[in-house]
C-alpha cells in the first residue's frame, strides 16, 4: 500500500515525526530513503534544510539515505526507494522536472 504524508513544516515537531514513522511499512533501518531537493533550485542537496532532514532521518534510524536531483538524474532511480522526501521550494518547478 502506498502512503503519503504532506506537511509544510517537515519534521517540525514530535507529532509530525510520529505520524511519519507510523506510516512506514518496516523499521527505518530496513528502508531506503531518497531525498529529492530539486524544488530548491539554487542549493539543492547542499541546502541547509535538506542537510538537516538527512541528519534527522539518521537520528530516526534510517541508514540508507541518498540525495537524488531528478533534474540531473534519471527519475526511474526513485523506484528503488521505500521513502521519498521532497524538499521545499518551487513545487511547479519540481513537477515540471518529474
pLDDT tens, residue by residue, 2-31: 888 888 888 999 999 999 999 999 999 999
Radius of gyration of the chain (CA): 13
Cell representation of residue 19: 505520524
Per DSSP bridges, beta strands 83-86 and 64-67 are: unpaired
CA–CA–CA angle 92, 12, 1 (5° rounding): 65
24: Cβ contacts below 8 Å, ≥ 6 apart: 31, 82, 83
How is the chain split into domains, by residue range?
14-97
- In terms of CATH architecture, what is 14-97? 3-Layer(aba) Sandwich (3.40)
pLDDT tens, residue by residue, 31-53: 999 998 876 666 665 767 888 89
Q: How far apart are CA 36 and CA 45, in angstroms?
A: 8
Q: By three-state DSSP, how is residue 52 classified?
A: helix
Confidence (pTM): 0.86
Amino acid at each position: 500500500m502506498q502512503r503519503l504524508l504532506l506537511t509544510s513544516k517537515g519534521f517540525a515537531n514530535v507529532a509530525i515525526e510520529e505520524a511519519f514513522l507510523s506510516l512506514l511499512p518496516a523499521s527505518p533501518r530496513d528502508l531506503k530513503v531518497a531525498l529529492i531537493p530539486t524544488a530548491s533550485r539554487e542549493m539543492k542537496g547542499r541546502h541547509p534544510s535538506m542537510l538537516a532532514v538527512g541528519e534527522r532521518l539518521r537520528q530516526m534510524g534510517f541508514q540508507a539515505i541518498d540525495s537524488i536531483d531528478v533534474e540531473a538524474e534519471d527519475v526511474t532511480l526513485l523506484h528503488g526507494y521505500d521513502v521519498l522526501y521532497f524538499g521545499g521550494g518551487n513545487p511547479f518547478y519540481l513537477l515540471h522536472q518529474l
